[in-house]
Structure 1
Amino acid sequence: MSTHTARLIAPHGATAAHGHPTAVHDGRPIPPPPLPPFANGQPTPVPAVQAGPTANGQPAAAADGRPGGGVGAQHFRNVLGRFATGVVAITAIDQDGEPCGLAANSFTSVSLDPPLVAFCVAHTSSSWPRLRSAARLCVNVLAEHHEEVSRQLAAKGGDKFAGLGWTLSPGGGPILDGALAWIDCSVEAEHLAGDHIIVVARVHGLDTHADHGPLVFFRGGYGRFQA
């Protein structure tokens, strides 16, 4: 791990100070991570759970202030939004030969042997059916200057690749100009998880691409790191 100090720099106009979403998908607000905000954008209902005891043995207060109550969705988003993530674009060439994609911050490595990664998409995503029908997917790690690219891929309808520069990866998926890295993969398994699907994908090839700082999502807004 690097010993350099990193600082999140919020972009102009972000509302990160209060944790409110600034990104949208399909014209609706995007909740902050680790809920997958870019795949859906609709508020994600959260099942009620019992609060555990505090250090002094007393029940912890729930989001609405009542001891032992349920977890409120907004409070859940605000608290989990303090976990900063990167942002990726998942792209493919669909069955009609057209590029398609979506943006997600719910991306992680899973396994070295075999090489697996995972990301989450909403049941209501209109882009995922086009992506999953492709033989190969390409995960693009977005750079700090890709905020508008992320917003474009998160928007509903229209040509999401309008004005975007890209080339084909060895696996046949779009690599966006300026992406920090690309990962060619195929769907290994899908697991239902509430109102989202956890997609596990097998990696077939990957490499670094451009050299920039990362695009970061934190407390509902985009930012960048300054080391």
Structure 2
Amino acid sequence: MPSASAASRERTKQLFASFPTGVAVLAAQDAQGRWAMPMSTFTVGISLDPPLVSAAFTRSSRTWPHLRSAARIGVSLLGEDQHAVLRRLGGADRAARWEGLEPIVLEGSALVLPGAAAWMLTSLEAVHPAGDHELALLRVLDHGLHAAPRPMIYHRSGLYGRGADLEGPASGS
């Protein structure tokens, strides 16, 4: 089947961005350093028994191979006040991503961010091909939920919290 045209891909991207979702950071460390991937393609509630969540990673990601090989992966569900953390961890300068950030190290070198609305300690359960992504099922081994702050929301390429615009849509969608 031929790949979608650029216009068709952009329309589909706008469709997917129209569904509000939380913002998660998956992180771990290995001998080569600390690795973090901010994402809005994280889904909770895949299964309660066993407790499973999912995350979709682009096949071209340079971070995913490090997370995939980690014994444990930390998941931080960002709070609405963690916009600067998201910007830093998603920045182009890989060497500067962790400057000024002191993650909490969990079992198996999983990393979680202090101040997150919630956190999870996970292990890789399964990986399935999913188009230009890989879909990872993660088993939740431990977790914590904080009463505050409220979660950061991604919607139409913008970041929101408490109904406020934290960083408006990146495109004219």
Distance 1:107 1:46 in 2: 24
The residue identity in structure 2 corresponding to 1:132 is R
Residue number among 40, 52, 63 corresponding to 1:105 in the alignment: 40
Of 78, 91, 102, which residue of structure 2 is paired with 1:165?
102
- Residues 22-101 of structure 1 aligned to structure 2 (within 5 Å): 47=4, 72-96=8-32, 98-101=33-36
Query: Number of residues paired by the alignment?
Result: 160
Report % sequence identity.
34
TM-score (norm 2): 0.83
Task: Specify which structure has the higher proportion of strand.
Answer: 2
SS at 1:149 equivalent: helix
What SS does the aligned partner of 1:158 have?
helix
- Higher Cα Rg, which structure: 1
Q: How does 1:1-227 map to 2 (within 5 A)?
A: 47=4, 72-96=8-32, 98-109=33-44, 110-156=46-92, 157-170=94-107, 172-209=109-146, 211-226=148-163
Residues 95 and 133, structure 1, Cα contact 8 Å, conserved in 2? no
Distance in structure 1 (CA, Å) of the matches to 2:155 and 2:63: 24
Aligned 8 A contact 1:166 1:175 in 2: yes
- Rounded to whole Å, the distance in 2 between the matches of 1:74 and 1:226 is 26
- Report SS of the residue matched to 1:129: helix
Moved over 6 A (4+): none
State the SS of the aligned residue for 1:72: helix
User: Offset of 1:225 from its aligned partner?
Assistant: 2.3
Shift of 1:165: 2.7
Report SS of the residue matched to 2:95.
Answer: coil
The normalised TM-score by structure 1 is: 0.64
| Larger helix proportion of the pair | 2
Whether the aligned pair in 2 keeps the contact of 1:139 and 1:182 (CA below 8 Å) is: yes
Contact 1:216 1:225 in 2 (8 A): no
1:196 CA displacement = 0.6
